[in-house]
Amino acid sequence: MLGIIQSIKDRIGLAFYLYPQTYRVSLETVLTNITNSSKDFSLILPLPIDGGSQRIIEGPETFPKPVEIKTDPLYGNRYMVFSGNAGAKESFIFRTTFKIAVLPKKIQPTQTFTLSDYSMIDRSVFERWIGTSPHIDSRDPRILALANEAKKRASDVPTILHNLNEYVINRLHYGNAISGLYSTRDALEKEMVDCGGFDTLFIALARVLGIPTRLVAGFWAGYRTNPMHAWVEALLPDGQWMPIDPSVEHLARRGRARKGGKLGFSGSNRIVFSYGADIPVEVNNQTLAVPILQNPSLAFSEMNSFFTVTLNFETKK
């Protein structure tokens, strides 16, 4: 009997993401100069999204204070820039703390939307989430053929999204996680990709069919360890953003994940830091494109041979 009771408690605990949650969050980044001489650095740190299914209650507070806080002009993501000089073997610690309320998100379309119904969406919003970029390439000639194959004969948007999700879940294999972002091409050509590869393939397939779709990047929350995660949201013609998490569904069906996340549902066990891919950021009066605003990143590629960057993301309910 005690074993049964404990089993029930474990299951309830694992399903906390079905209910609203409030977290105190600490994001600590350590930047270390690994060379024997002083080096200049420019470090980009993301700030959490305030809106949608989450709301910032306190903060964010950052120490030390950033040189700049900016908003990217394309997707509206906020980020901080730290610039300075690190002596030989010198380390710096950057810590961001905030309190955030997160709701589970469940969207089940009640209308049978067709692709022509996207005429109801504001054109600027539609075009922002329908284009192509280095990591999401819907112009790849393979994508249109695969999208038509994957959607089968469906003509309504919910069924098309369902069919695309099933196609991605069954086509790809999960593995070889990276701190960056796998591209659409990677997803088509590599033996294994992580959550980002599942997402960029899904987004390219949806966009080539005319469905506005965006990458969502952030962290798991509420666990002892909270690694990075990315998923998808598709814009429905009525203006709702429908969550889709093909990598988690892929793993769950194989008994490798119990965190929740599927077509039409994302739990309160995740915190969003950015929308979109290949995000334009400004550093030292230069505009750069970063794959995602999620993990801390050095602004310029040459800095990667001078510095190491480590991250610790902690949440307390």
- 312 and 257 part of one domain: no
Instruction: Give the burial string for 218-238 (b: 16+ CB within 10 Å, else e).
Output: bbbbbeeebebbbbbbbbbbe
- 3-state SS, residue 62: strand
Q: Residue 116 carries which DSSP code?
A: G
Residue 119 located in a structural domain: yes
Handedness of CA 209, 145, 140, 205 (dihedral sign): positive
pLDDT of res. 7: 41
Residue 73 located in a structural domain: yes
Residue 90, domain extent:
13-103+293-316
Position 6 pLDDT exceeds 50 = no
Would you say 60 and 24 are in contact if contact means Cβ atoms under 8 Å apart? no
- 98 and 164 part of one domain: no
Give residue-wise pLDDT tens across range 249-278.
Answer: 999 999 998 898 999 999 999 999 999 999
Position 182 pLDDT exceeds 80 = yes
CATH number at residue 297: 2.60.40
Q: Which residues pair with 193 in a beta bridge?
A: 174
pLDDT of res. 109: 87
pLDDT of res. 169: 98
- 73 and 112 part of one domain: no
- 88 and 111 part of one domain: no
Q: Which residue has the higher pLDDT, 110 or 202?
A: 202
- 88 and 113 part of one domain: no
- Which of 126, 127, 115, 199 shows the shortest CA–CA distance to 164? 199
- 243 and 119 part of one domain: yes
- 199 and 226 part of one domain: yes
Number of domains into which the chain is organized: 2
Residue 6 located in a structural domain: no
Residue 278 located in a structural domain: no
CATH number at residue 217: 3.10.620.30
Average pLDDT over residues 300-308: 95
- 129 and 90 part of one domain: no
- 145 and 256 part of one domain: yes
Average pLDDT over residues 47-62: 97
Neighbours of 304 (CB within 10 A): 11
Residue 287 located in a structural domain: no
Position 1 pLDDT exceeds 80 = no
Residue 268 located in a structural domain: yes
Residue 281 located in a structural domain: no
Of the listed ranges 108-112, 207-211, 294-298, the least confidently predicted one is 108-112
- 311 and 171 part of one domain: no
Position 10 pLDDT exceeds 50 = no
Residue 24 located in a structural domain: yes
- 129 and 23 part of one domain: no
What's the rounded Cα separation, in Å, for the pair 39 and 68?
20
What's the rounded Cα separation, in Å, for the pair 91 and 34?
9
Average pLDDT over residues 174-187: 96
pLDDT of res. 13: 52
pLDDT of res. 103: 98
Would you say 302 and 46 are in contact if contact means Cβ atoms under 8 Å apart? no
Give residue-wise pLDDT tens across range 113-168.
Answer: 999 999 999 999 999 999 999 999 999 999 999 999 999 999 999 999 999 999 99
- 44 and 187 part of one domain: no
Position 2 pLDDT exceeds 60 = no
pLDDT of res. 14: 66
| Mean pLDDT, rounded, of the chain | 94
Cis peptide leading into residue 64 (ω within 30°): yes
The CA-based diameter of the chain, rounded to the nearest angstrom, is 66
